[in-house]
Amino acid sequence: MGIAARTDDRNPAPTDEALDLYERQFRQEYQCWQEILQRNADRLARGQYSLEWLNTDGAHWGRRAKPSSRGLTFTDVHNVKGYGDIPAHVTWRNFAARGSVRDRYRDEMPVNDHYDVLDALDVWSDNVNTLYEEAKARQWNATRDIPWEELTPLPDDLEKATCQMCTFLTEVEFIAGDFPAKWMYRIPQDFLEVKNFLSSQIMDEARHQEVFRKRAIAGGGLLHAAPGFEWALKAIIDSPNHTMGTFLLNVLGEGLVLSIFRSGEMIAKTHVDKEIFRRCLQDEARHVSYGVMQLKYHLDHHPDRERAIADMHRFADVGEQVVLASFSEAQNTEPIAVLLGGSLKRIDQGMEGMAKLWRMFMEEYLQRCERAGFARRARCTIPLDAPWGHA
């Protein structure tokens, strides 16, 4: 089948009926826009200029943002009165920028029905501005910033273990981009800082998928998919709302991956692999930090905090099984154990290292929950010690 062949019934070629419906909708719902176009056309035909945009009534004109030592950051802009006020609830479901003159045009603007995540408690975190600035400052290039030319061959068992681990990471990284993309177009412009940060996360995850795919193919090739973890990834994308999905993805899932990256000095067997882990670690830490602080903001600002906590506990009871699934999957656990042990023959010793990695992850996860005001330790459904029995 050719690459251009259509195989997805959810994205079919438009039928005549669909185009007719779009045209009728355009004629009916876009009448205000057509009136604006006609008015402007008539005015220009008379050689007249509106110059309404020069009127600063209702604008925050003259309040200039001043750069700090780091340049002109979002925080510097927010310090200008009128631009940093984050609404608790958004009433502007259109495309106008927060802080622009828009009230006078309210009756002429369309309503974007896709903007339906309207409460700050569902998306905001108090560190989102800092994380976005950091994301921009610490971007890296998987093509030129990794010393690929210095990649040295490993013994067959270690190379296969490395390539299997990278296959697993290639598999999971794009869901971490798909999830924020699923929600980004539903978040209105008044939460522009969140949209910007999520866009940086999507770019981070694209780069992670790229670098692990390249590493596997440069070392021998992609190996086995992990069906069990596929179900865990589906659980993330199917989360009931943004906060719950962000908890499952960023606090739990990416927290696990962060623990793996932090163990890079023990897992990685070449300095190229260590450099990959080091660079991915800094990105992953941002995503985890956003997840923690978004959950904290959600709980702190929810009108019924106890109900919100109860709902999150109920969700976490199920969501924590994602981690159990990932650690029970042979395609994930066994190659890392081989790398930790130093060879296939020392996989048992490597599993002891995996037990230490498990305990590190669990303690960090529970500490993150506590930081968010979500006391999970007494109710956690994941065993605090590795379930395979190694001390």
CA-CA-CA-CA torsion sign (293, 299, 302, 307): positive
Walk along the chain (391 residues) and give the pLDDT tens digit of each residue.
344 444 455 666 778 888 888 888 888 777 888 888 899 999 999 999 999 999 999 898 988 999 999 899 999 998 888 888 999 999 999 999 999 999 988 888 888 999 999 999 999 999 999 999 999 999 999 999 999 999 999 999 999 999 999 999 999 888 899 999 999 999 999 999 999 999 999 999 999 999 999 999 999 999 999 888 888 889 999 999 999 999 999 999 999 899 999 998 899 999 999 999 999 999 999 999 999 999 999 999 999 999 999 999 999 999 998 877 777 789 989 999 999 999 999 999 999 999 999 999 999 999 999 999 999 999 999 998 887 765 4
Residue 47 lies in a domain: no
Decide: 159 and 219 in contact? Cβ < 8 Å. yes
Measured in whole angstroms, how far is the alpha carbon of residue 373 from the centre of its chain? Answer: 22
Residue 259 lies in a domain: yes
HSE of 98, CA atoms in CB hemisphere, 13 A: 21
Residue 189 lies in a domain: yes
Give the range of the structural domain holding residue 179, as residue numbers without chain letter. 120-371
For residue 386, give Cα distances in angstroms to 136, 328, 359, 375: 37, 10, 7, 21
Residue 180 lies in a domain: yes
Structural domain count, the chain: 1
Residue 113 lies in a domain: no
Per the structure block, which two tokens stand in for 179? 């999830």
Residues 6+ apart with CB under 8 A from 175: 233, 236, 237, 249
Residue 41 lies in a domain: no
Residues 6+ apart with CB under 8 A from 53: none
Residue 50 lies in a domain: no
**Torsion angle of alpha carbons 127, 129, 131, 135, nearest 10°?**
180
Residue 211 lies in a domain: yes
Looking up residue 244, the CATH number of its domain turns out to be 1.10.620.20
DSSP letters for 163-188: HHHHHHHHHHHTHHHHHHHHHHTTS-
